[in-house]
Amino acid sequence: MEMEWCVSMPKIELHAHLNGSIRDSTLLYILLPSFTYNSTSFLFYELARELGEKGTIVFSEVEHVLSKNERSLVEVFKLFDLIHNVTTDHKTVTRITKEVIEDFAADNAVYLELRTTPKRNDSKGMSKRSYLEAVLEGIKSVDSVEVDFSRNINVDASSHSHGVYDICNGYERKKIYVRLLLSIDRRETAEAAMETVELALEMRDFGVVGIDLSGNPVIGQWLTFLPALEYAKKQGLPVTLHCGEVPNPDEIHAMLDFLPMRIGHACCFEEEEWKLLKKLKIPVEICLTSNIRTETISSLDVHHFADLYKSNHPLVLCTDDAGVFSTSLSAEYALASSAFGKYSLGKREMFELAQKMIEFIFACDRVKGELKEMFAKAASELD
Ligand code: 6MZ
């Protein structure tokens, strides 16, 4: 599938981690304002060297992780720790949020559910709440495109138009709906998880539409997070879970029994778990590049996307961490279209796949309705 066409079609992104989507150029700017570089690996190498010199990390312990493109899942989490070291202050969080939204809009994402872990950082006077406020500041500061981001805010000009473009001062401007999911990191305690859910509930009028459980899958116990997740569910806040990123049948079963609204990845499912998932019809957030790069799935031809697609199981194509894995939503579509070898999926199939994703968003019916209109209009212009 031509990349250009994948860029041009309207798309929906439901699984993108804020700090994982950071631009290379921004990470570099934060580190070394006057430096030039030519690969992401090199960038991470410089990041680690800086932190090593400051004594924040022991450079020799992470050096081997940095010099290659394929990193195991465990190694990727070491990178996240490095990134967080330099990005967790209010100003930087605001900047990354703005840029990530602009990047998705430039790629013609028309609806973006951005997820991030609210962080406390005492040395920067940061609480989970002030972290989230910095994210909201970033959303508000986007000016290159029209952003619809909450029930109460910014619904003036944008609410009157239901197209991919809005008319503003006679000029057509792109429009993107942005909603937030607050992530619970698997390293967190039950109390910290509950704090995140409370915050999400408080901020529902400011674009927060759900909760995610993520982080290093070999750390933490499902039972630690269960009370907070049950509470979210009881309050009507949708939950999505990173599920089966590593083989852990007990946890996979417990997660499916919880009946989340969606799950992410589902890489290490066995026969019995596939059967259960398909029976429950829980939508799966598919992250092809991420799974292949982290070697969770060995190659595209054995990825479960093809089977789920053929079984007509609900699924969404997502980037996961566009910055860390050097990908984009359009690139994920191009890759997905080639998952059946020489019988690649055509434009009509890819468009319909994107259109179906509207059903799985966590935003309200108004947004779903407007997206449906938007896709219907784009469908009439297809071919
Ligand atoms: C599980 C992941 C992830 O929240 O700081 N994260 N969790 N599996 C993955 N697959 C590769 N990719 C990212 O964004 C970065 C955080 O998102 C989670 C991790 O907790 C990571 O620290 P935020 O914006």
DSSP string computed for 133-144 = HHHHHHHHT--S
Does ligand 1 lie within 6 Å of residue 185's CB atom? yes
Separation between Cα atoms, residue 63 and residue 40, nearest integer Å: 14
Which residues contact residue 292 at a Cβ distance below 8 angstroms, ignoring those fewer than 6 apart? Answer: 298, 299, 300, 303
Confidence of residue 314 (pLDDT cuts 50, 70, 90): very high
Does ligand 1 lie within 6 Å of residue 293's CB atom? no
**Encoded amino acid at 344, one letter:** S
The reported pLDDT for the residue numbered 44 is: 65
Residue tagged 């059946």 (tokens):
340
The pLDDT tens digits of the residues spanning 157-212 come to 344 444 555 545 555 678 999 999 999 999 999 999 999 999 999 999 999 999 99
**216 alpha carbon to ligand 1 midpoint, in Å?**
8
Residue tagged 């709440």 (tokens):
129
For residue 154, is pLDDT > 50?
Answer: no
For residue 102, is pLDDT > 50?
Answer: yes
171-185 and 165-168 beta bridge pairing: antiparallel
**274 alpha carbon to ligand 1 midpoint, in Å?**
24
Nearest atom within ligand 1 for CA of residue 87: 5
Does ligand 1 lie within 6 Å of residue 242's CB atom? yes
Are 146 and 111 within 8 A, CB to CB?
A: no
Q: Is 245 a catalytic residue?
A: yes
The pLDDT tens digits of the residues spanning 43-80 come to 666 666 666 776 666 656 555 555 445 667 888 898 89
Does ligand 1 lie within 6 Å of residue 325's CB atom? no
Cross-strand bridge partners of residue 177: 111, 148
